[in-house]
A and B are shown apart, each in its own frame.
Chain A
Amino acid sequence: MIANTLTVILILAGLVFFAAGTAGLLRFPDVYSRLHALTKADNVGLGLVILGLMLQAGGPADILKLFLIWVLVLAAGTTAAHMVAQRTWTHGEFESDR
């Protein structure tokens, strides 16, 4: 019961971060601030969701796998954000063909 309540609270909190990150991505004016909103919010948001799911996991193996997913997304997200930011810094904002 306590675990279930905690799970719901943690996942809802995670979703708030996701929503905030998405809002930032859509509303912020330039690439850097959008990246800031997206990565920070998504990492914490996913962390909270994963923490919530860990409370429902069947055993240590599942908990470890969930943790691994978070670490990998964290690494990939960081790198992607870094590269987008670097590209913007050297080449200017991305322009589509149209």
Chain B
Amino acid sequence: MSDLLLVVFDLVLLVGLLGVAWRCLASTDLFRAVVLFITFGLLLALAWVRLEAPDIALAEAAIGAGITGALLLVTLERLRSIAVERRRGRPDEPPDPAGADALLHALHDPPPPRRTFVPALTFALVVGGLMVTALWHQPDAVGLEPVVDEHMGVSGVDHPITAVLLNFRAYDTFLELAIVLIALLGAWSLGRYDRLPARPAPGPILPGTLRLLVPVAIVTGVYILWAGSHAPGGAFQAGAILGAAGILLVLARPRDLPMAPSTPLRLGLAAGVGLFLAIGIIGLFIGPGLLGYPPEWAYPLIIVIEVAATLSIALTLVALFIAGRPAGDDH
């Protein structure tokens, strides 16, 4: 009975995922598409829970749905205000074909029908065929679980996912951190932000909620970071929660947002990648190889890297949300 219910639940979830994905892609209204994208992320997190991958579910809900959703919304808002501003500046001129107006129009109007049926069908057949072949020849492997379980003793942590992410496959996690940092460098190279003035909302509700939610978010973030060594959690999820608290503060801005001090900000942003790389290189010289740790030092080193990575991820997400390097330190 309960098996049947679970199958029904999974099917409903699957249909919901596909339906929301289709609506999101087919929507010609950007705002609706973003909202559907967030919905899709939350449903996807549920799907990860059903696949018994709570770590990925946490990351998907916090980063995929939450932070990415916020970034998309703020991008949309900026596109819109740029378009309005340009239109106000030159009301008589025809819209610039390369300008923000044209971009918004291109994004909104459904594209003209093209003769893409045959290429699309060919593409679908080839990719589908490849996928079927790949899945057909899946060996009856049990996956990497036994290998990971066998080596848990030397990993330094008690949670297999953290062991894989920060010890056995530290390379991948290091590159992920580097990608987040490079994304921020890209955003910073495009512009800068000036002092963001306060925008106090009338009424006591928003400040009250901030006073309640921000401390809770900080405690939750630190807890998730700490839990990462023995339970689902870790740097990315914790960084996303702390970053969300920062984004909330930036969005609500009960006071003027102070300019971030340049040197500490840059140190904080680079701390995760820098420490990870430094420890990795030390590993190269003292024996276990690049990004490897001596087993007796694995636990403290992983904790140090995770703390630095959490700080960097949180700062990077807030900085990405503000988008632009702090003005005033372009020398």
Q: Point out residues on A near B: beta carbons under 8 Å.
A: 72, 75-76, 78-79, 82-83, 86, 96-98
Complex A-B: 14 CB contacts under 8 Å: A78-B209, A79-B205, A79-B209, A82-B203, A82-B205, A83-B201, A83-B205, A86-B202, A96-B29, A96-B32, A97-B31, A97-B80, A97-B104, A98-B29
Alpha-carbon gap, A72 to B219, bound state (A): 13
Interchain CB contact under 8 A, B209 and A76: yes
Chain B, residues 209-250, CB within 8 Å of chain A (1/0): the string is: 100110010000000000000000000000000000000000
Residues from chain A with a CB closer than 8 A to the CB of B206 are 79, 82-83
Chain B, residues 32-43, CB within 8 Å of chain A (1/0): the string is: 100000000000
Alpha-carbon gap, A78 to B205, bound state (A): 8
Residues from chain A with a CB closer than 8 A to the CB of B108 are 97-98
> Which of B32, B201, B209 has a CB less than 8 Å from the CB of A86?
B201
Alpha-carbon gap, A97 to B33, bound state (A): 12
Alpha-carbon gap, A82 to B206, bound state (A): 9
Beyond A97-B31, A97-B108, 4 additional contacts (C-beta under 8 Å) are A75-B209, A83-B206, A86-B202, A97-B80
Interchain CB contact under 8 A, A97 and B30: yes
Interchain CB contact under 8 A, B216 and A96: no
Known: A96-B29, A97-B29, A98-B108. A72 touches B202 (CB 8 A): no
Interchain CB contact under 8 A, A75 and B212: yes
Residues from chain B with a CB closer than 8 A to the CB of A79 are 205-206, 209
Interface assignment of B173: CB less than 8 Å from any CB of chain A: no
Return the chain B residue nearest A80 by Cβ.
B209
Interchain CB contact under 8 A, B216 and A72: yes
Residues from chain B with a CB closer than 8 A to the CB of A96 are 29, 31-32
Alpha-carbon gap, A88 to B185, bound state (A): 37
Return the chain B residue nearest A94 by Cβ.
B31
> Which of B28, B80, B209, B213 has a CB less than 8 Å from the CB of A98?
B28
- Distance (whole angstroms) from the CB of B104 to the closest CB of chain A: 7
Residues from chain A with a CB closer than 8 A to the CB of B32 are 96
Interface residues of B in 154-212 (CB under 8 A from A): 201-203, 205-206, 209, 212
Residues from chain B with a CB closer than 8 A to the CB of A72 are 213, 216
Residues from chain A with a CB closer than 8 A to the CB of B205 are 78-79, 82-83
Report the 5 A-B pairs with minimum CB-CB distance, sorted nearest first: A79-B209, A82-B205, A98-B29, A96-B29, A96-B31
- Distance (whole angstroms) from the CB of B228 to the closest CB of chain A: 18
Return the chain A residue nearest B30 by Cβ.
A97
Alpha-carbon gap, A98 to B201, bound state (A): 28
Residues from chain A with a CB closer than 8 A to the CB of B104 are 97
Alpha-carbon gap, A17 to B204, bound state (A): 28
Residues from chain A with a CB closer than 8 A to the CB of B30 are 97
Residues from chain B with a CB closer than 8 A to the CB of A86 are 201-203
Interchain CB contact under 8 A, A76 and B29: no
- Distance (whole angstroms) from the CB of A89 to the closest CB of chain B: 10
Return the chain B residue nearest A81 by Cβ.
B205
Residues from chain B with a CB closer than 8 A to the CB of A98 are 28-29, 108
Return the chain A residue nearest B109 by Cβ.
A98
> Which of A75, A82, A97 has a CB less than 8 Å from the CB of B213?
A75
Residues from chain B with a CB closer than 8 A to the CB of A75 are 209, 212-213
- Distance (whole angstroms) from the CB of A97 to the closest CB of chain B: 6
Residues from chain A with a CB closer than 8 A to the CB of B201 are 83, 86
- Distance (whole angstroms) from the CB of B87 to the closest CB of chain A: 13
Alpha-carbon gap, A83 to B216, bound state (A): 21
Residues from chain A with a CB closer than 8 A to the CB of B28 are 98
- Distance (whole angstroms) from the CB of B236 to the closest CB of chain A: 21
- Distance (whole angstroms) from the CB of B158 to the closest CB of chain A: 19
Residues from chain A with a CB closer than 8 A to the CB of B203 are 82, 86
- Distance (whole angstroms) from the CB of B202 to the closest CB of chain A: 7
Alpha-carbon gap, A76 to B209, bound state (A): 7
